[in-house]
Amino acid sequence: MRKADTKGWNTRTRLVHEGVRRSQYGEVSEAIFLTQGFVYDTAEQAQQRFETPGDDEFIYARYGNPTVRMFEDRIAALEGAEDGFATASGMAAVNGALMSLLKAGDHVVSARALFGSCLYILENVLARFGVEITFVDGTDNDAWVAAIRPDTRVVFLESISNPTLEVIDIKAVSDAAHAVGATVVVDNVFATPIWSRALEMGADVVVYSTTKHIDGQGRCLGGVVVGTRDYIRKTLEPYLKHTGGAMSPFNAWVMLKGMETLDLRVRAMTTAATAIATALEGDARLSRVIFPHLASHPQHEVAKRMMDKGGTVLSLDLAGGQGAAFRFLNALQIVTISNNLGDAKSIITHPATTTHQRLSEEQRAELGITPGLVRLSIGIEDQDDLLADIRQALDAV
């Protein structure tokens, strides 16, 4: 249980009460301030606000908004971070975190196993502006040490990779990065803010797609970046407020309400994911069951140190290849075929033909994305119903 630095509250209390800003009406549920602008009483007040805006003083929703600020304060409190900045999507958050830190000539070291759009930002955007990128096998601590140079400015990684669920030792990578003064940026979606303490492990900047577990009910896109107040307000905010990646107040409200139940949902999903992974291990129709807290996981020891529990996603490799994987997907009756994760509904994805279709066969092989691999995001349905559904679909294969 994480204790708040100031109030001594535990996680669940903070998820419900942190960041609340009440209007003069004293509403119980957080208000949606669906407004782009704010009225000033006098010309002098407008001048003052543009010169030195106070914490609770807003100018324009691209810069900040009371509902968005409530969400930023709540997630920062959960993470034990000094501050946060909410964005229109997870990719706006990743793009902002990286672009705000880098300039032409800088060197970046990144894990190779990345979400497709993160890879695009590094390979197709940053590289175009003269940023040099070295990719490494994220699970190989020696490879990080060898790749990090005195001029390395940023180290980027996804703490748990998609879809093969490799776990990166954030502490070892951060130690190597900090030795040369590099900033460690961690995309922490799969680890969830409930099970991972990336900042405590050494990360400087943590990014979430709030589209996933934080909304958790498949409604809105969103993202957030957390870190020191200095980084968030002096480096990130100027970049984001001028380039327009702001989160909408409506989406911030959905995220705030999502956070109230985040711990409950993630715990239930994790309990079911753990039970299902354990029950399926050893099934002859599966050549691999990948789940970070199974003893058979290649980075099991690292996973135990990085996360309190194994998370909400598991991957299965159907021994019969793509044909078996497709028959399995098509036979499922509760688990739906889609590509989100962290949702209340259990969702299954065949990465080789969807999310990772763009990669060459060699690239997929290198990342362990075999034709039989499926990624299963466990929702909040009854665990026995889910296991029965998965078993009947395996029988249909």
- Which is closer to ligand PLP, CB of 115 or CB of 195? 115
Q: For strands 152-158 and 107-111, give the pairing.
A: parallel
**379 contacts 336 by C-beta, under 8 angstroms:** no
- Minimum CB distance to ligand PLP, residue 327 (Å): 26
Tell me the two tokens of residue 243: 């380039």
CB 291 within 8 A of CB 377: no
- Least distance to ligand PLP, CB of residue 158, Å: 5
Min dist CB 329 to ligand PLP, Å, is 20
Residues that bind ligand PLP (CB under 6 A): 89-91, 94, 115, 117-118, 158, 162, 187, 189, 209, 211-212, 221, 223
Instruction: Write down the least CB distance from residue 59 to ligand PLP, Å.
Output: 26
**Cβ-proximal residue to ligand PLP, closest one:** 90
Nearest alpha carbon to residue 310 among 329, 330, 333, 290: 290
Least gap, CB of 291 to ligand PLP (angstroms)? 17
Minimum Å gap between C-beta 160 and ligand PLP is 8
Closest to ligand PLP by CB, 170 or 221: 221
- The residue (of 302 and 397) whose beta carbon lies closer to ligand PLP is 302
Residue (118 or 378) nearer to ligand PLP, CB: 118
Q: Find the shortest distance in angstroms from Cβ 34 to ligand PLP.
A: 21
CB atoms within 10 A of CB 382: 11
Extract the tokens encoding 278: 């354990």
- Looking at the Cβ atoms of 310 and 397, the one nearer to ligand PLP is 310
Residue closer to ligand PLP (CB basis): 155 or 286: 155
Q: Which is nearer to ligand PLP, 248 or 383 (CB)?
A: 248
Least distance between ligand PLP and beta carbon 90 (Å):
2
Nearer to ligand PLP, 91 or 147 (CB): 91
**Residues 376, 381, 383, 389, CA torsion sign:** negative
To 10 degrees, what angle do helices 321-331 and 383-396 make?
130
